[in-house]
Structure formats: C-alpha cells, structure tokens
Structure 1
C-alpha cells in the first residue's frame, strides 16, 4: 500500500508539472500522504517540548544582509502605479477553514518572492492539521483570536491577536496550526504569506520566531490620522525588529482615518502589493488614483519607490490595509503543494524524503500533533 501511494503521488506530480513550472496548490494533492501519517501512532517525546519565544528556534544560517546587503529606498520619490487590482474570492482550505487567497491563484502567480497569500477565517474544530513544508518561509499575522502551533521537533506555542509567527521550513518541517476556542465564540482571523527561500537556503535548518504585538513599533503621521504598525522594514524614521525572515520583506499594517493620507517609501526594484482589510482606500494620486474596496489585492508596478494611499474625508470608516514588499529572487520556482524547490528533480526528492522519513523528515515517522487531535474529539 505504501509503495502504491508513493507511485500514485509521483504520477500526479509528473502530470501537474507537465502543465506548469509553477504549481500553486497547497495540501489538497497530498491528502493521501497526510491521512496515512495522521493514522500512525504518536511517539513524540515529551522531554523535547519547549515554548517558542521571541528569539529564533533552530540553527542560524547565513544572515540575509550577508546575501543581499541592507535594503535602501531611493532618495528621490517616484510614486508607483497600480498594475492590477482584484477581489480575493473566499474558498475552503484545510479542514473547515475559509480563506480569501489572492497570491497563488490564476490572478497572481510568478510574483517573486511571494508564493501565496491567504486571508483566513477558522473556528474551533477547523484549522490546518499535521502537514509538511520544505523550501519556503511562512509569515502568519493574527488579526483576531488565538492559534496554537506544534511541530515534530517538540516545539509548541500560541500566537494571539496582533502577534506574528515567522517560520522557515528549510529542509523540512511537519507541523499543525489550530485555532484556540474563544470565550466569545468569535472566529480566528489572520493573514498567512508564503515567501520563497533563495536557492542556497532551501536546505537550511528549520526555525521559528514569534513576534509579539508588544514588540512591533508603531508610528502616527498626518496629525494622527494614519497609524502604521512597522512589522518589518522602516517607516517614517521608525525601524522594525531585525532578523525576521531570510528573504528580505517589508510588512506594514496601516490604518488611515477619513481625511488622512500616507506616502510610504519602499525599496526600489522590489515587488509590492497591498491587501485591503477594511473600508475603502484610494491608492495613487491625481489621475492615477484608484478607489479600492475591502478584500482586494492591489499589485503595484515595480518601477517607483513610494506607495500613496488616502481615505476620503466623508468616508464612514477608516481604510485598513496590509502593505508588503519583497526582494524578487532570480530563480526558477517549482512548487508541489507545500514543497517549493527550484527543479522538478528536487520536488521528486522532497516527496521521496517525506515518504521515507529522511533528509529533514526523520521525525515525521510516527508523529502526530496533540493539537491536531482536537478534530477527532
């Protein structure tokens, strides 16, 4: 049976890769593998359990500044224009969860270094049970509620509203992400961004960093009408916590009150987008100004070094958006579900390694998360 499942998995991968070099699916095609693993007996040692903190868990590798240098916005101000804007349509994902996926859909692919963006909503009894990753980083930003996390190395932790988790999958990780039941019964809402790793770091050791809301600096501009959470990068003279992701990304949570406006500098040459979480926001200025409603991804042209946004003075609510920019990686992307590599052969190798519990997946054998068992109760 195991041999049959493995051959079936490889066959599906071959067919999928024949259609596209970049396969942007998530866990669905690997359901047979995941179900088999979930049915194995749990053998995780409790002596390895630890709580994630504010520093990285996992072995350090090459600091990103040694690979790329420090990102610096240009001194001159050239506004970026909008390349496209589109609604993120809600769909089912994981087990019982709902996501609005914008990056990693036919609307937006090959947008290096970004692989996928999900605006997710989940309730107790739903979530993302045990599943593997290789070759990417995930950045999870929680807007409301709480999410428990557990992996096959014995790491456990919880992020709450306003917190983030930066996870580097590297050579291999298997984990679960499950919403925690809230007293008020409200759903858990957040953003999860998948970022590609540079080729030389694809097989680094996995690591985590929980960034607490209290660690995120904030800055107000335009007489207090604009509030910026500087999650990663720099804004209006305020710098974020350093060494968060290996692939350089800037991330801001921005809220603009009616009558307010902001011009945010971004490193030249980086790809950038804004995802609208609430209200109506005008992006651009003059004839280039475009009104964008809730749940849209606004993709900016690469040329230029600033993004301008404003909310009409007579608006009934503030504009709230998630602004992200990242350094494009000059490399091929071959993705099969949660495995993101640079060639078809590397994808096949990842499937074999996961199937045979080797080369980073040794601890996946017989492992079952405790938090994933909630779905069986």
Structure 2
C-alpha cells in the first residue's frame, strides 16, 4: 500500500549571513520529522571564496543538543570548530558535527568550478536527552566514502548519507533510528521505496520536478507523509537525472524546546546553554589552513 502524502511545504525564505536559504522545517504545525528539527536549503548561488580562503569568524556560532549535518550538491564546504577540527568536502560530501554539551563552528562555502556555484542542505538532528551533555564529535565524509546501492530495473542509485538501507550502512554515528538518503533517479524511471513501520518520512526535491505518489514535488519543496503504508513511489518524467532527498526516523518522544542555535528539552536547559556560551565554556576557533 502506498504511503500517502500528508503535507506539501514550499518553505520560507530566510537570510543566513549573506546567503538566501529556504527554511523548510520547522513549519507551522510540523515541529520535526523523526529527529530532524530543522532543514535549510541554500539555493544554488555564486560564491566569492575558494578552497584557500580562511573565514574571518563573522559567521562562527554555537550549538548545543543537536547534530548538524551539511550535504553539498555543488561546490565545496570548509568546517572549523572550537575543538580544533578542520576539514573540507566537495560535492557529494558531508560535514557532520555532534554539538553535545556545546561547541562553536564556522562553515565556509567555496567554489570548485568555473561557474563558482555552491548548493547545499543543512539538517539539525535532535539528540536524546542523555546524549545532549556528551562531549562534541566531528566527522567529514568525502564523496567517495558515501555508500551507494544500485536500484532495480536501472532506475537509479541510492546514496546512504545517514542510517542504513538493507545491509548498507553510513559511516556516520547515529543515536536513534534515523536515515537520510539521496535518491538519484534516472530519466523516465520509477522507483518504489520500501518504508519501515513506525518511522516518520519526508522527501525533498531541490530542483526540477518529481512525481511522488502522483503529486508533483519540486523546486525546493518538501512532502511529509502520513502514518501507515509500506512504500513510496518516485517517478521521474524528465530526460535528466532527478535528485530527491528522503529523510526521517523514529518519532522524537521527549519535549523539544528550541531557541536560536540550541535545541534542548526544557526552558531551563536553554537558559543554561546561553549562559555557558557567554561564559566562554564552548571554547574558541583557531583558524588555520589545511
């Protein structure tokens, strides 16, 4: 049985520094999909920096209580943080950071092609209360290290960015049942994704248009699914490969309190997160070239 679409969301434009993004989660009564409490789509944009540029720190900011997950469609992305981590990824790579009890990070988009285009997504994934006070962690996953599987009937490929699909598992650590897949659907092809019972699902189409259970979804829109059903149908009517990001996980059962860059379980914990930041407990970033 097909898993029905409950809600289609076009997002709201928001400025993040000098960049324009489409904020898709949270939205109205949709506070989360599984553990995902935040999704920003940074539209394809021309960037000034290159791989050798060091940021000036003006975009550095703290987090506590979540993991951040940045996925690049085009261009490259540098990561710096107050634990001394630095790395860069290209298109198809992932910057993952467990903020835990507190960290400051800075991400700098840069150009890798003559058109100087950068295009990406960032998720915030909520941590269980018992993990929110753990030490921060960081991992950069290069494009070649993201596992992929071939889909039946030459319909395309599925990149397992987070979680698992069948016997194939992402290298990134998870703390609750959760997944992020990048479906690369071949021209004029159809794929039916089997869904796991008890999990919440959403699908995002960054550009172009795809038929999802016969609903046209595309151009930076997201489809959020009802409970029930055992598969989702994706159909690409176009003559070019279509990209779909499919994500979700087990429902987050604890209270969610979000303020600025912090996601905790109580208002008191939010107040403590801000106090610890202003008291300098998250450290400082030391910028350096790779």
**TM, length-normalised to structure 2:** 0.88
Structure 1 residues 142 and 157, CA gap change in structure 2 (3 angstroms): same
Kindly tell me the number of residue pairs found equivalent between the two proteins: 280
Structure 1 or 2, whichever has the larger Rg, is 1
- Aligned counterpart, 2:48: 124
Aligned pairs (5 A) from 1:58-69 = none
SS of 2:275 mapped into structure 1: helix
Q: Using the TM superposition, give the Cα deviation of residue 148 of structure 1 relative to its aligned residue in structure 2, in angstroms.
A: 1.0
Q: Using the TM superposition, give the Cα deviation of residue 217 of structure 1 relative to its aligned residue in structure 2, in angstroms.
A: 2.2
- Aligned counterpart, 1:100: 22
Task: Supply the distance in 2 between the matched residues of 1:324 and 1:117 (Cα, whole angstroms).
Answer: 11
Task: Supply the distance in 2 between the matched residues of 1:232 and 1:266 (Cα, whole angstroms).
Answer: 15
- Aligned counterpart, 1:352: 275
Task: Supply the distance in 2 between the matched residues of 1:167 and 1:106 (Cα, whole angstroms).
Answer: 27
- Aligned counterpart, 2:219: 294
Q: Using the TM superposition, give the Cα deviation of residue 233 of structure 1 relative to its aligned residue in structure 2, in angstroms.
A: 3.5
Q: Using the TM superposition, give the Cα deviation of residue 357 of structure 1 relative to its aligned residue in structure 2, in angstroms.
A: 2.1
Alignment gaps of 5+ in structure 1: 1-77, 372-377
- Aligned counterpart, 2:52: none
- Aligned counterpart, 1:332: 255
Q: Which runs of 4+ in 1 moved over 4 A?
A: 125-128
SS of 1:348 mapped into structure 2: helix
CA contact (8 A) 2:3 2:225 kept: yes
SS of 2:8 mapped into structure 1: strand
**TM, length-normalised to structure 1:** 0.69
- Aligned counterpart, 1:48: none
- Aligned counterpart, 1:308: 233
The structure richer in strand per residue is 2
Aligned pairs (5 A) from 1:183-332 = 184-235=114-165, 237-284=166-213, 289-312=214-237, 315-332=238-255
Q: Using the TM superposition, give the Cα deviation of residue 241 of structure 1 relative to its aligned residue in structure 2, in angstroms.
A: 2.8
CA contact (8 A) 1:148 1:159 kept: yes
Q: Using the TM superposition, give the Cα deviation of residue 350 of structure 1 relative to its aligned residue in structure 2, in angstroms.
A: 1.0
2:76 pairs with 146, 157, 175, which one? 146
Task: Supply the distance in 1 between the matched residues of 2:178 and 2:119 (Cα, whole angstroms).
Answer: 22
Task: Supply the distance in 2 between the matched residues of 1:330 and 1:345 (Cα, whole angstroms).
Answer: 19
